[in-house]
Amino acid sequence: MRHLLLLLLSVIGLAAAETKRCVFCEIVAGQREQAAVYRDDKVMAFMTIGPVNPGHVLVIPLVHADNYLEVQPEALGAMLAAAQRIGRALQLTDLNAEGIQLLMNTGRAAGQTVFHAHLHVIPRHTGDSGIEQKSEAPRPTMAELEAVAAKIRVKL
C-alpha cells in the first residue's frame, strides 16, 4: 500500500514537472539548440524550426509568460522593437522579404502551440496565402537555419 502511494506521488510529481517544462524557457537558458538572431536584456529572437517561409523568426520575452496578454508591457514593447529591427534586416538580405507579417497566436483556438509568448516575424512574397500554414516542405536542418540566421544577424 505504501509503495503504491509512493508510486502515485512520483507519477503526480512527474506530470507536474512535465506541465511546467517550457521549450522556449529552455532556449532562453541555452539548454536547447537554436539558431540565434538577436538578444538583449528583455527579449531574444531565433529561427523557428517550422518556417512558413525562409527567414521566419520568433521573438520572445526572456521572462516566461504564457501568451502576449501576460507579458509585461516593457517586454512587449521590446519584442516589437526587436521585430522592427529584424524586419528591416530581413529586407536587406537576399531572402526576398517583399512583405513582412507579424503574428501572435494567443490560445489554442487561435492556433497557439507553444505556451511561451512569441511574435512571429514572417517574410512574405507576392502570391503567398498570407496565412500561417504548415509547410509541406521537409523541416530545415539546424545548419540551414543557422545559415539564414547569420544572414539576418549581419544586417541588424
Question: Which residues are catalytically annotated?
Answer: 118
Kindly tell me which residue out of 3, 21, 113, 133 binds ligand 5GP, with binding defined by CB under 6 A.
113
Closest of 80, 76, 78, 73 to residue 100, by C-alpha: 80
Q: Any idea how long the chain is?
A: 156
Q: CA of 68: how far to CAs of 18, 43, 103, in Å?
A: 22, 13, 11
22 binds Zn ion (CB under 5 A): yes
Nearer to ligand 5GP, 58 or 86 (CB): 58
Kindly tell me which residue out of 56, 85, 116, 120 binds Zn ion, with binding defined by CB under 5 A.
116
107 binds ligand 5GP (CB under 6 A): no
Beta carbon of residue 141, minimum distance to Zn ion (angstroms, whole number)? 25
**Partner whose binding site includes residue 48, from Zn ion, ligand 5GP, none (CB under 5 to 8 Å by kind):** ligand 5GP
Residue 12 phi/psi, 5-degree rounding, is -65, -45
48 binds ligand 5GP (CB under 6 A): yes
Beta carbon of residue 50, minimum distance to ligand 5GP (angstroms, whole number)? 3
Q: CA of 95: how far to CAs of 30, 44, 124, 128, in Å?
A: 27, 21, 10, 14
Whether 122 and 103 have beta carbons less than 8 Å apart is answered as: yes
Print the binding letters for residues 50-89 with ligand 5GP: x by CB under 6 A, - otherwise.
x-------x-------------------------------
Cell reading at 50:
517550422
Under 8 Å CB-to-CB from 113, ≥6 apart: which residues? 105
Q: State the residues that interact with Zn ion by CB under 5 A.
A: 22, 24-25, 64, 116
Q: State the residues that interact with ligand 5GP by CB under 6 A.
A: 23, 32, 34, 46, 48-50, 58, 105, 111-114
